[in-house]
Amino acid sequence: MMEEDLNNICEECKKEEESVTHNLIKHGYKVCESCRVSKTIFPI
């Protein structure tokens, strides 16, 4: 993992959210909670 990945910046909306790191660890997606929910409902 690169150092720049160790932040809380969502890859989808580029917003800083504490949930980004949680979602990266739990789900493997570096996204915030709201982007994760929309990914779950509307998978690409």
For 23-33, give one letter per residue: b (16+ CB within 10 A) or e: bbeeeebbbbe
Name 2's Cβ contacts closer than 8 Å, sequence gap at least 6: none
Q: Is 36 near Zn ion (CB under 5 A)? A: no
| Interacting positions 8-27 with Zn ion (CB under 5 A) | 10, 12-13
**In angstroms, what is the minimal distance from the CB of 1 to Zn ion?**
19
Contacting Zn ion (CB under 5 A), which of 3, 25, 29, 35?
Answer: 35
Count residues contacting Zn ion (CB under 5 A)?
5
Positions in the binding site for Zn ion (CB under 5 A) = 10, 12-13, 32, 35
